[in-house]
């Protein structure tokens, strides 16, 4: 019975891995076709790549993802994903220009 459970889990991991790789590939294509990247699209791409990278070591027969998958890169990827999702850092939305308000009476 334990072998059946492990076989089912291995099949699920492989299926999810393949689906995530396909999604990451499609998102990357969207990014390449557009001028500039919407922060939310960028964060979605980073999140999917992060998920692929985290799942890959559990699949010894699968080919590695087509991008870096070392620990240092994972940390940088998580930081970029967080900044893009929260619109901070380089992904920050430009604040509106400040306007000084003085005397509010109209000129005569």
Q: What proportion of the chain, given as a percentage, has pLDDT over 70?
A: 88
Query: What b/e readout covers 4-31, taking b as 16+ CB neighbours within 10 angstroms?
Result: eeeeeeeeeeeeebeebbebbeebeeee
Q: Which residue has the higher pLDDT, 30 or 105?
A: 30
What's the whole-model pTM score?
A: 0.63
Q: What is the pLDDT of residues 11-47, one digit of tens each?
A: 999 999 999 999 998 888 888 877 666 777 777 887 8
pLDDT of residue 68: 66
């Amino acid at each position: 019975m334990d072998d059946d459970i492990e076989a089912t889990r291995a099949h699920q991991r492989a299926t999810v891995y393949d689906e995530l790789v396909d999604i990451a590939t499609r998102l990357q294509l969207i990014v390449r076709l557009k001028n500039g990247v919407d922060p939310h699209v960028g964060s979605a791409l980073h999140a999917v790549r992060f998920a692929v990278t985290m799942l890959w070591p559990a699949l010894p027969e699968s080919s590695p993802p087509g991008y870096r998958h070392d620990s240092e890169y994972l940390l940088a990827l998580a930081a970029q994903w967080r900044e893009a999702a929260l619109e901070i850092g380089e992904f920050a939305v430009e604040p509106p220009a400040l306007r000084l308000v003085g005397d509010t009476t109209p000129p005569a």
